[in-house]
Each structure stands twice: as C-alpha cells, then as structure tokens.
Structure 1
Amino acid sequence: MNWLALFLCVVIVYGIVPTVVIRQTGIGIYKRGKYTKAVALTFDDGPNPYYTPQLLDLLKKHGIKATFFLVGTKAKQHPQLVKRMQEEGHDIGLHNYRHISNWFIFPPFLQRGLQKSADIIEQITGKRPIYYRPPWGHLNLCTWTVQKKYVIVMWTAILGDWRERLGVPALVRRLKKSLKDGAIIVLHDSGETFGADEKAPEHMIQALQQLFEDEAAKNVQWMTISEMIAAQTKKQTRAI
C-alpha cells in the first residue's frame, strides 16, 4: 500500500465514517430545536472586521439575537467584535482555532486548539463558551471526547451563502424555505476561508435585510442556541 492510499484510509476511518454515522443518527449532537416557531440564526468563520460590524448593526436594528461560532485566531485579532457580540446578547461558540477540517486534526491538536480558542473568548468576555461547531461540520473519532466539554451544534439548513454567484434573490428564497419549527440556519460573516468568495457576506447581509422585512419572518421567534435549548428543557419539564 502506498502512502497516498494509506492516508486516504486513515481519513476515511478517522473522519468521514464518524461524520456520516454521527450526523445521520444525531447521537451526541444538537441539530434541531423542538420549540414551535423558533429559529436560530448561526454565523460561522468570523469575526471579520468589515462584515461582522454590519451584521451586528442589522441584528441590533431588528432586535434579533444570534449565535456566532468563532475562529480562535480571528477572535484574538478582533476582541472588540467579540466583546460587542456578548454585550448585545448573542451566543458565542467555537469553530476551531484555525479553520481546518477535523478530518486532518488528531485528538491532542484538536483539544489544544479548542482550549486556546476557549481561553481567548473567556479572556475577552469573562464567560467560557460551551458550544462548538466544527468547520464544514466535519467530525472524527474523538468527537465523543470533545462532547464532554462542549455541546456540538449542527444545523437543519446550510444555504451556500459563501458563494457570491448564488446572488441575493436566490439566498432570500432559500432563507424563507428554511424557516421551519426548530430550524438552525448556517450563514457566514467571513469570506476569507478556503472555498468561500471574499465578498459573499455582502450578499448574505442584503438577503437578511430583505428577510427581516418580509411577512415570512414576522411570525418567527428568533432565538440563540442557548435560548432554544432552555425553551425546550422548560417545555419538557412542564410536560413531566
């Protein structure tokens, strides 16, 4: 067996198979709320010094709280944006120290990176993050170890907003279609990561502006992930 074949075997066993199994079964991950009319907007890959302030302005204007999954190195570079997220009532979670697939990070390095990212965010906000979303939703065999410290949050809708050619009208249509009970929607406030278009977040912000002003969004109860989980827990407690 040559080195390339061996490498592919390791990636398949260590990364791809666990990702498929965990995401299909939902074991140990949070991927949908169970609260009627509740929708969680989540944003990956930031913070970005140009687009994140615009997004925060838009959310503040409409009184909407969201959840941000931050790249550790970017949080370190832009602490004022992280602090603003906290002050305006948004949830803050982890998105790896660098935007690298977990298929290519072995356990000690993944744990160390998450520790560094959590330390950075805690130093800025005074609160340690408890939510984690791996880049591209890629999991691996050590996912169960990571679960001991963090709630792994996936999604019900990932809309392709990192592609500039998608355009605003198509993204608005996808957003409206994704507004279902318990939905967790993934968007991106940075276009700097591999495979993304640099100016794509501009279209995302324009699409959200149109969505928030549309009738389809007026009956939605926008929640952070922590609010969605708390509402679900409260409902279950009442049922007992």
Structure 2
Amino acid sequence: MVRHPGTVGVGALAAAAAWHIGPAATWLPPVRKILSPSLDGRGSPDHVALTFDDGPDPDSTPHFLRVLAEHRVRATFFLVGESLTRHPDLGRALVAAGHEVAVHGWHHDRPWYPAPLRDVREVRRAADAVRRICGTDPQWYRPPYGILTGGRLTAARRARLRTVLWSSWGQDWTEHADARSVTASVLRDLTGGGTVLLHDADRWSAPHAWRATLEALPALLAECRRLGLRVGPLCEHDVERG
C-alpha cells in the first residue's frame, strides 16, 4: 500500500497533537482518579496533603506562614521559578518554617503550542532555582493551571520530579470566592488520603483572592482535625505510585 505524502504529514501532525494535548485529559478529576491515583494525589488514608500554588509573593505568602505556624501545620508550596528568584528570602523562609517546596514551572503560562525543548529547559531551570535558593532538592512538579502535556510530563521526568495534581480544591482564584465558598469547595471532595489545592498568591488570580483562602484556612484545618485526619506536606503523604 502506497500512502500519499500528504496523508503521512497529516498523520504525523495528528500524532504530535495527541502527544501534546492527550495528558491534559487528566485535568478532569474523574479521569485521573481512575487512571492514575498518584497523579490525583492519593496517599495515606489518615492524612491530607495541603498544597499551595503560585507563590511566593511578599504581599500574601507571609500571612500563610503565620497562620500555618499558629496551627502547627506544614504544607507543600509549588513555587513559580521567576517569582522565587525575585523573592528569594521568602523561599528560604518557607523552608526555615519546615514547609516543603516544589516546582510550579518557570513561568505561569498555558501550553497553547507544543514546545518540548522549552518545557525541559524551563522545568529544569525552576528546579535548579529551588535547589540554589532554598537549599533543598524538590521532589514534586505541578504544571501551571494543572494542564499537563506530553512536553511537560517529559520535562518533569527528565528533571526527576514526580507530577501530582490534586483531589480537592478551593476554587479560590475567582473574584467571587470568599471564605465560605472556599471551605465548601474543599470539603465537598475532601477525604482521607486526598491532596488539597489552594493558592497563596493572586498574581494569576482575581486581585486579593488569596484573602478568601487565608480566612478559610483555620476552618479547613479544624474540620480535618474533627475528622481525625493529619494535615501535612506531600513528602509525608505516601502518594500512591501509579
């Protein structure tokens, strides 16, 4: 059978597109819960992993440090590389307070087009910044907006990072979010062994959206205690290997 050159070209483009965008289906919680419990952040049934994205930010991150210290809770902070290099003292403060730091990419952009070489370069650059500034070796990667692509998945593997998304979130980035809505959104899907996604910065959210998250945090921690669930970083969560 002889294939027309145009057919081969279209097939190659289709395969490249599928490789690029196929993993993005894991953004849907039912998909990743079934296909990859580790990507869903499922861990020890008596533990909840508390994670924050989009920092560090000098206007907001210190407030989360204070509240977490008051409640004697540690968390995992997924840091944006370019923000970390602008505010290195905050990265070091997170580690000094006992929190885990992880990689949220170098920029916080959406992957409209395939760019595998750039993905590898920027994830590695962000991981190197965490090592250099924070003095710790990052173990985790979460892509910006939670959108995973073939290039980003490969980049994380080459940087020896484990990719993890979440099983419960606060939907705390909108202008309509308040403490009540954030709390309700998290508790709707919160179970033992889950990973919670919140944000400690609003650079890519509605202005001051982080205030709703901060206000909701004590109630969320109290509810976890009432349910007999320990709260801590991903490094203590025993994420399932899927």
Question: How far apart are residue 114 of structure 1 and its match?
Answer: 1.3
Q: Give the aligned partner of residue 156 of structure 2.
A: 146
- Find 1:217's aligned residue among 221, 225, 230: 225
Write the letter of the residue equivalent to 1:115: R
Identity of aligned residues (%): 28
Question: How far apart are residue 111 of structure 1 and its match?
Answer: 1.1
Question: How far apart are residue 61 of structure 1 and its match?
Answer: 0.6
Give the stretch that moved more between structures: 135-144 or 219-228: 135-144
- Find 1:114's aligned residue among 120, 123, 144: 123
- Find 1:175's aligned residue among 180, 186, 199: 186
Q: Give the aligned partner of residue 24 of structure 2.
A: 19
Q: How does 1:23-42 map to 2 (within 5 A)?
A: 24=31, 26-27=35-36, 29-42=38-51
- C-alpha change, 1:28 and 1:98, in structure 2 (3 Å) is farther
- C-alpha change, 1:110 and 1:145, in structure 2 (3 Å) is closer
Asked if residue 159 in structure 1 is aligned to residue 164 in structure 2, the reply is no
Q: What are the Cα deviations for residues 1-47 of structure 1, in whole angstroms up to 9, with x where unaligned?
A: xxxxxxx9799535432221686254595323331221011101111
Write the letter of the residue equivalent to 2:157: Q
Q: How does 1:70-89 map to 2 (within 5 A)?
A: 70-89=79-98
Equivalenced residues, count: 222
| Two-structure CA RMSD over aligned residues (Å) | 2.6
Write the letter of the residue equivalent to 2:23: P
Q: What are the Cα deviations for residues 41-80 of structure 1, in whole angstroms up to 9, with x where unaligned?
A: 1101111111100001000110111011000000001111
Question: Is the CA contact 1:161–1:187 (under 8 Å) kept in the aligned structure 2?
Answer: yes
Question: Is the CA contact 2:123–2:155 (under 8 Å) kept in the aligned structure 1?
Answer: no
Give the TM-score normalised by structure 1.
Answer: 0.83
Distance 1:45 1:11 in 2: 29
Q: How does 1:113-132 map to 2 (within 5 A)?
A: 113-132=122-141
Question: Is the CA contact 1:29–1:151 (under 8 Å) kept in the aligned structure 2?
Answer: no
Q: Give the aligned partner of residue 144 of structure 2.
A: 135
Q: Give the aligned partner of residue 106 of structure 2.
A: 97
- C-alpha change, 1:11 and 1:48, in structure 2 (3 Å) is farther
Question: Is the CA contact 2:172–2:182 (under 8 Å) kept in the aligned structure 1?
Answer: yes
Q: Which stretches in structure 2 are left out of the alignment for 5+ residues?
A: 1-12
Distance 1:89 1:77 in 2: 21
Question: Is the CA contact 1:11–1:104 (under 8 Å) kept in the aligned structure 2?
Answer: no
Q: Which stretches in structure 1 are left out of the alignment for 5+ residues?
A: 1-7, 234-240
Give the stretch that moved more between structures: 44-53 or 113-122: 113-122
Q: What are the Cα deviations for residues 196-226 of structure 1, in whole angstroms up to 9, with x where unaligned?
A: 20110011100112333x4553422012111
